[in-house]
Structure 1
Amino acid sequence: MTLASTTPPTAPVTLASPLRWLALGWADLRRNPVPGLVHGLLITAFGAFLLWIARDRFWLLAGAFSGFLIVAPILATGLYEVSRASEQGRRIGMAEVLGLWRSGDGRLVRFGLLLGLAGTGWVLTSAGLITLWSPVPIHKPLDFLRHVVLVRDIGLFEVWLLLGALLAAPVFASTVVALPLLVDRPVTVGTAVTHSWRAVASHPGPTTLWAALIAVLAALGMATALLGLVVLIPVVGHASWHAYRDLSAVAGPG
């Protein structure tokens, strides 16, 4: 049996699909706004707390920022449950979402730990690169802005961005389908990750565009002093469920 065989009818995956997923995510939020906005408020408040704690220490801030971006999808798993219920013609509230959170699903815990390790690896790699290449020590965010981002010569900042993209790509490929799949089906973490990679390999163009849209929306949310994330987090979370549905239909046997 394939995973696609038990899912509802899906649309063909094209370059237009990411915009369709966002539209469906927005429709899910409008249909049942309370759970989504609660997710958005909680995750945004957690991110703001991390930023406040690490505001004057660049490396702590980098670690908090990376960890937030990587672990946030784990915190948003309740949104997949809301979208799944909506897909089935049901409307659930925070009580059902809290039930999912309290379940202590070991698969999600293990996946979250793996993502946390990936984030730690990025911070350590980034620290090594900047420490070796930067002409002056980087201690505060302002140091990074002055001596890495705003320098005239092309070099460290561009390499830093490229390295971040190279490290983020396999993390995205491992999670884009795996996380909703773990919520939806009793499969192992290994099976979910394999299925996710197969889905990305089947449609590299749409999934790359989807990753870019998520990055742009995250940047927009942060540019609004995090306030935009209150709405963008549930929209992207719900949209990720619809991305999983479409991509699962083409990923082959699970």
Structure 2
Amino acid sequence: MQQPNNVLQDSAELPFPAIRDIKATSPFRWFASGWRDLLSCPIPSLFYGFCFAAMGLLITFVFEHAYEYTSGLTSGFLLLGPFLAMGLYEISRRRERGDGCSLTPTLMVWKRNAGNIGVFAVVLGVIFLVWARASLVVFALFYTEEMPNLSGFLDQVLRFENFEFLGVYFAVGLLFATIVFAVSVVSIPLMLDRNQDAITAMLASVGALARNPATMMAWAAGIVIMTIIGFMTFHLGLVVLMPIIGHASWHAYRDLVEPLPHP
């Protein structure tokens, strides 16, 4: 496996990231590598897993009687996942370098390229806010009854008369999720590893999706399935599954992006 550069370059001096063609089965290897990273660095990895689980539980309890907000915020939780997983990327990066497992250096890793990571966070935040608003609009226009509460959500929403609502709601959600996935496949790893600027990193991510559509669809499906399992276990599954996804995302970056040539 290619080792990361020891010295970060100025983003203006960096070539545009070269994207590799990879096999459709690669996501299985990435998840396996993520599991190994979790086992090698359990304490810092599980710290971030508990953070994800706590956020999910907080969203659920705070908005227990306003599920239209909960669904939007849960989607936002997924949209902001690449930003929240920075510490997990750094754990994998440090393990590659042989720097050992330590939580403290990962907590402020965003400072390494704060300006560009901030730009990326703003982009994701704007998409999240638009999606949250779109979620409310879809509920208002297509839902046939009063807003559902959390306890009766599935029973109320999965009725035949709400079929049109479900189709529109998931179509809109899929659109936003696809946009976020396209711009975030390798964005933050590039910004952390190479000091890459935000625009170039997002364009490289779109390029990775365009060049390897089958592999990226399999990768996205794996992430969605594991995340759903995490939520279905009352968020407790997120404690383990989110660190695996975060570590695996770092290994996906390593496979998708050609390393910089040695000076």
- TM superposition score category, shorter chain reference: 0.7 to 0.9
CA 1:224 to 1:147, structure 2 compared with 1: closer, same or farther past 3 Å?
A: closer
Deviations along 1:75-127, one digit per CA (max 9) or x if unpaired, are 21011111112122331301211231566813222222221221121122222
1:67 aligns with 2:107: no
1:50 aligns with 2:59: yes
Match of 2:88 among 79, 96, 118: 79
Letter in 2 for 1:34: I
1:15 aligns with 2:24: yes
Which moves more between the two structures, 22-31 or 142-151? 142-151
Deviations along 1:181-212, one digit per CA (max 9) or x if unpaired, are 11111111101000100111110000011111
What's the % identity of the aligned pairs?
Answer: 36
CA 1:104 to 1:173, structure 2 compared with 1: closer, same or farther past 3 Å?
A: closer
1:36 maps to: 45
2:244 maps to: 235
1:124 aligns with 2:119: no
5+ residue gaps, structure 2, are 1-14
Match of 1:176 among 173, 182, 185: 185
Letter in 2 for 1:151: F
**Distance apart, 1:39 and its partner CA:** 0.7
2:256 match: secondary structure: helix
CA contact (8 A) 2:112 2:195 kept: no
Which moves more between the two structures, 170-179 or 87-96? 87-96
Which moves more between the two structures, 179-188 or 105-114? 105-114
Letter in 2 for 1:94: L
CA contact (8 A) 2:76 2:132 kept: no
Letter in 2 for 1:122: W
* C-alpha distance in 1 between matches for 2:151 and 2:234: 17
Q: With the length of structure 1 as denominator, give the TM-score of the two structures.
A: 0.88
**Distance apart, 1:14 and its partner CA:** 1.1
Match of 1:156 among 165, 168, 174: 165
CA contact (8 A) 1:138 1:144 kept: no
1:105 match: secondary structure: helix
1:135 maps to: 144
2:225 maps to: 216
* C-alpha distance in 1 between matches for 2:145 and 2:16: 55
2:7 maps to: none
Q: With the length of structure 2 as denominator, give the TM-score of the two structures.
A: 0.85
1:155 match: secondary structure: helix
* C-alpha distance in 1 between matches for 2:242 and 2:26: 19
Task: Give the number of equivalent residue pairs.
Answer: 245
Letter in 2 for 1:50: I
5+ residue gaps, structure 1, are none
**Distance apart, 1:226 and its partner CA:** 0.6
